[in-house]
Structure 1
Amino acid sequence: MDKRTQFRLVLVLATAAALGFAYLRKAQVESASEPPTSASAPTRATDGSLHYGALVFKPCELAAPQTGATTSAYCAPFRVPENWDAPDGRSIDLKLALLASTAAAPPADPVVLIAGGPGQAATEAWPQQAAAFAPMRDKRNLILLDQRGTGGSNALTCARSEDESDWANDPERVRAQTRACLEKVSAHADPRFYTTTMALRDLEALRAALGKPRFNLVGTSYGTRVAQQYAKTYPDAVRSVILDSAVPNDNALGSDFAVNLDAALKAQFAVCAADATCAKAFGAPWANLEKLRARLRDKPVEVSYRDPVDNAQKTMRVDAGMLAALARMYAYMPETGALLPLAISRAVAGDYAPLAGQAKMLGQQMKSLADNAMQLSVICSEDADRLVPNPADADTLLGAHFVDVLKAQCAIWPHGARPADFNAPLTGDLPVLILGGEFDPVTPPRYAEAIAKTLPRGRVLIAKGQGHSVLGRGCLPKLAARFVETRDALALDAACVGNFSPIPAFIDFSGAAP
């Protein structure tokens, strides 16, 4: 063999080795970014049902609370032990639904929506979330499982009457309400077992029944706690995580609601104060709110108003507690937050009807969540012992009684177990996308930043001028879908997030100034 032939052979071998190394490196990168799965995608039977692992999903309709509108889906029966540590005891049925992808051959690993609250059911949250998930459904199936104690999963329901706006200010009434609620739900449930930790075992049992696919978790608000806890407990079961309006694992739910609300409202109202038209119409909205709160604290008002639902003439007692509740919930969304300066200003001038009408609508919209006692099982088991009353909260809009009420309720409500590492942060190289709103009154942006510190493949995107639960806003649905496909939050082109801005305040009930 001459030297030229030897050289060519060495070059070929070197090139082959280089290509082989490159191929091996490419395979290693792909393996790291997309772990293999043995799960199979759902198959459609001749009768129209979907077979997914050991479960058979049949066509069904999901009804939305309040509106009664329905969504076509596929449902399957799913039964679990109420107490996973005593599997021979009482069983409960969980409501399970699948929203089929529009793709011809969706992969086996579905998107799983984990609703907030605590107390919200995934199937009931779906109508408001459908648009946010549309780009994800272009590629993947979506799973909805009502968390135990909510919706169609043995709900812990205790309806309240409409005249209870000030019940939290009466400690004996709080205790009486809690005892009555406990007696009612105990007829069909043991509240100790309706916690986040038990819900994780339900979710893992569902994954096993589906053939052990990897889940793409999407948690909203309290659902971000569930998502983080599940990813900590079953790391190999998770492909990606989206946390929308996230709460850190070490946060005690309710501990800083008061300070967070004041900060969010002041930031929202500062936008109005900086706008010449808004400032001319309302002056200083935060000062107006403080003036109105002080007046209503000293002397609640009986208000005559037109019911916005049936247009009947009705009366309502408007007090400081009702004002705080309305301002808190309206601050969640920029569209409703934009109404607050106007409604507050009108009330300061003596016209309380707009506040009363808005409070009535809010009460109806929030009724299913307000009537759900599963939140007590969660908070009393996971947070109550870490709740410490803060005297400084007395000067906030919510006041200092919020923590006092929770402590009083949890002195009566049965407690479940909390794992020793429950408050430890989520860590590791799991790809995580964390979304938040600049003016979120309950899970502010600093929460998202705290969570991201222990996640090297995590990324935070904050939508300017937005409130709580932002996944459905602007370009975020497409970004979320892109993230689920690539599992690379750091490489997302998120320039579109810079296009968000606050919604101008209503100058009158026709809208904002032109």
Structure 2
Amino acid sequence: MGVVLRAVLACAALLVGCSEPKGPAQTSAATDHVSIVHRNCGLRSYVGETDVAVRCLWYSNERSKRFQLPVAILSKPHERNDNTSVLVYIAGGPGDGFQTQADNLEYWLDWYGGSPLEADLLIYNPRGVPGSKPYWYCPEYDQVSLNVMSEKVGFEEEARRAAPVLHACMEGFSARLQAMDLPNYRKLSDFSTEQQARDILGILSALEYEQWHLWGVSYGTRVALKASQLALLVPEQSAKLTSQILDSPYPFNKGVLHEWAALQDNALRLHERNWAKFTRDLSLAAGNDERLIEYLTSFSSFEHLWDSVNAALDAIESEESQKGVNVHDSRLYFHVENGFRHEIATDEQQALPVYTTDHFTFYMSRSRLAALMYFVLYNASLHEQFYAALYELEQLKTVRVSPKNHNINTLLSLFLHSSFDPAFNSFAYFATECTDNPRATAADIERAISQYPAWSEYLTVMQRYDVCAANFFQKTLNTNPLTVDAKLQQPYNVSIPTLILSGENDPVTPREWAEELADTYTNSGGDVTLIRTGGGHGVLHAGWCDFSGMQAWVAHTQGTEVPDTRVAAEQRYCGY
């Protein structure tokens, strides 16, 4: 939604890795003209160290033959595996890549080998992201983002400078797609959730499994919901689709621009609750900095703390402006070591500036602090450090020479490495979100501003520079750009058992979304289990739900194990 940091020259999006994959002759060219080609997994250290078998493939189909997706299948020895069922992991994003890269496969080998899961595990890379072919990128967008975050500019100036670069990248990529002359060419909507769901069904249809289980996380839940919906149209697929696990669900009717303010407001409310518990525990704990305790407990609420720190930023900026302090000498200017500088870039990514930048430089402003506030909610272990970092920021009012702010620097390092992670493709994100979601009307924005006046400036700017309103998206869909793609609407497929997991501190897909989705299934007669956990976004990966419960879910939904109804679902499928 809108223009984001990581967004001054006009550029054309580049496509790389378009050559045909090397490997044995293609197989499984079934009725959908699917092509499965074997590929090298790239694993070295794990050869002979595990009894888990790994099979790596390239997938493509005749409808979109230029898109080639890497697939990896993990299997256990026959005595530990029924060899007839598969669990498909659908990553979040949209835009997350390198799912089947060797380093990532080593993580999955550890997890899968130690888990009781008996079904095969299938991991794949979505179209248009690092690791897939073609992979597309625009170094100029990353560069302008790196530049602007180090400058003392406001949120609107960030958007104003990033917007033309982002628009040029998206239009350039759209032109390249057209030049590729793809069958059934649909421009940027080739990255819609519907197309990605068809990829999953195509992969599964090319393999000989009798029972399919979908496991989506965040945006991946939307792909799972669409795939299960599409499977209803094909009897052979519907008969094999057995269950779905939706971790931190992203329903069809969410994600519109005007909802952004509600998510920000929800983030502040989550901090309010977490901060109250933190300060209570802080005052009881021994060994804490007495000045930190005194400072934090002097505020009656997180809102008052938040307002005080933002006022401190304003005061520092005003004072330094009056004195003519250079931005590089500002107390709000931070240097953070760039860990990507020491990594070896893939051939496709060598032009990305994140691999050649020695340090991240960052000027702390109100809008960037708000982004950091939102970011730390992803990981509960960062909350305490964030509140201590707010204390450090406030102290900069009276410190004339910037100290080594341990907590601020640590959080900024995590934030910046996440924001500029080469595994993420911002353009695949925009292509998907802008295709899937309806445009916010002026009336929508006005209502959101009325309800959340604190975020009015942000909403106004985001609407003004909304890349989703660009002509290349309006031309993509043969519908009114103010309405959602008709193919991404309910009803959902309620004919299969559905497990929904939701964290109480989720800032991205809040618990209300999960509860609303569960109610929709229940009211439609669906078999749905909703488990509310602690933690934030991504319940399973954050450890708030035991992975071992997935085998219990798979066995139950396949009918190979009768669940003990005396044990609560939380215990059966989450281990608590």
TM over 0.5: yes
Aligned counterparts, 1:152-167, within 5 A: 152-153=131-132, 154-159=134-139, 160-161=142-143, 162-165=146-149
Distance 1:441 1:149, change over 3 A: same
Rounded to whole Å, the distance in 2 between the matches of 1:272 and 1:230 is 41
Aligned residue for 1:449?
515
Q: Please, which runs of 5 or more residues in structure 2 have no aligned partner?
A: 1-23, 45-51, 178-186, 233-237, 286-292, 318-329, 343-357, 397-402, 478-483
Aligned counterparts, 1:27-176, within 5 A: 55=36, 57=38, 59-61=40-42, 73-81=54-62, 84=63, 91-101=66-76, 104=79, 105-121=81-97, 122-123=99-100, 138-153=117-132, 154-159=134-139, 160-161=142-143, 162-165=146-149, 169-170=156-157, 171-176=159-164
Confirm or deny: 8 A CA contact 1:303 1:352 kept in the other structure: no
Aligned residue for 2:211?
214
Aligned residue for 1:182?
170
Rounded to whole Å, the distance in 1 between the matches of 2:472 and 2:113 is 40
Shift of 1:428: 2.1
For 1:324, give the aligned amino acid.
Answer: A
Aligned residue for 2:250?
247
Alignment partner for residue 262 of structure 1, among 268, 273, 279?
A: 268
- Structure 1 residue matching 2:68: 3-state secondary structure: strand
Aligned residue for 1:410?
469
Aligned residue for 2:419?
366
Comparing 436-445 with 310-319, greater Cα deviation is found at 310-319
Aligned residue for 1:13?
none
For 2:70, give the aligned amino acid.
Answer: K
Confirm or deny: 8 A CA contact 2:194 2:487 kept in the other structure: no
Aligned residue for 2:363?
317
**Which is bigger in relative contact order (C-alpha 8 A, separation at least 6)?**
2
Deviations 1:190-222 (A, max 9, x none): 423111111122112212211364321110001
Shift of 1:115: 0.7
Rounded to whole Å, the distance in 1 between the matches of 2:472 and 2:43 is 32
Aligned residue for 2:49?
none
Deviations 1:67-118 (A, max 9, x none): xxxx99431121235xx4xx6xx62211222223355343322111111111
- Structure 1 residue matching 2:531: 3-state secondary structure: strand
Shift of 1:398: 9.8
For 2:67, give the aligned amino acid.
Answer: I
Confirm or deny: 8 A CA contact 2:267 2:374 kept in the other structure: yes
Aligned counterparts, 1:214-233, within 5 A: 214-233=211-230
Rounded to whole Å, the distance in 1 between the matches of 2:516 and 2:430 is 26
Distance 1:148 1:56, change over 3 A: closer
Matched, 1:470 2:487: no
Tell me the percent identity: 19
Distance 1:193 1:214, change over 3 A: same
Rounded to whole Å, the distance in 2 between the matches of 1:75 and 1:174 is 38
Alignment partner for residue 440 of structure 1, among 506, 517, 527?
A: 506
Aligned residue for 2:17?
none
Distance 1:475 1:222, change over 3 A: closer
Matched, 1:282 2:296: yes
Distance 1:343 1:490, change over 3 A: farther
Matched, 1:429 2:495: yes
Structure 1 length as normaliser, TM-score?
0.74
Rounded to whole Å, the distance in 1 between the matches of 2:308 and 2:269 is 17
Rounded to whole Å, the distance in 1 between the matches of 2:564 and 2:138 is 44
For 1:404, give the aligned amino acid.
Answer: Q
Aligned residue for 1:375?
429
Distance 1:305 1:76, change over 3 A: closer
Confirm or deny: 8 A CA contact 2:218 2:248 kept in the other structure: yes
Rounded to whole Å, the distance in 1 between the matches of 2:271 and 2:110 is 27
Shift of 1:280: 4.5
Deviations 1:338-381 (A, max 9, x none): 32111111111116834244223321233236642111111211
Shift of 1:175: 2.5
Q: Please, which runs of 5 or more residues in structure 1 have no aligned partner?
A: 1-47, 64-70, 502-514
Rounded to whole Å, the distance in 2 between the matches of 1:224 and 1:295 is 41
Distance 1:431 1:498, change over 3 A: closer
Shift of 1:385: 1.7
Deviations 1:385-442 (A, max 9, x none): 2463221444159943574267344325525446525232524231111111111111
Aligned residue for 2:380?
334
Greater Rg over alpha carbons, structure: 1
- Structure 2 residue matching 1:373: 3-state secondary structure: helix
For 1:120, give the aligned amino acid.
Answer: D
Shift of 1:273: 3.3
Aligned counterparts, 1:382-401, within 5 A: 382-386=436-440, 388-389=444-445, 390-391=448-449, 392-396=451-455, 399-400=458-459
For 1:108, give the aligned amino acid.
Answer: T
Root mean square deviation of aligned Cα = 3.9
Confirm or deny: 8 A CA contact 2:130 2:425 kept in the other structure: no
Aligned residue for 1:68?
none
Distance 1:164 1:451, change over 3 A: same
- Structure 2 residue matching 1:249: 3-state secondary structure: coil
- Structure 2 residue matching 1:96: 3-state secondary structure: strand
Deviations 1:2-43 (A, max 9, x none): xxxxxxxxxxxxxxxxxxxxxxxxxxxxxxxxxxxxxxxxxx
For 2:552, give the aligned amino acid.
Answer: R
For 1:248, give the aligned amino acid.
Answer: P
Rounded to whole Å, the distance in 2 between the matches of 1:498 and 1:212 is 24
- Structure 2 residue matching 1:450: 3-state secondary structure: helix
Confirm or deny: 8 A CA contact 1:380 1:413 kept in the other structure: no
For 2:310, give the aligned amino acid.
Answer: R
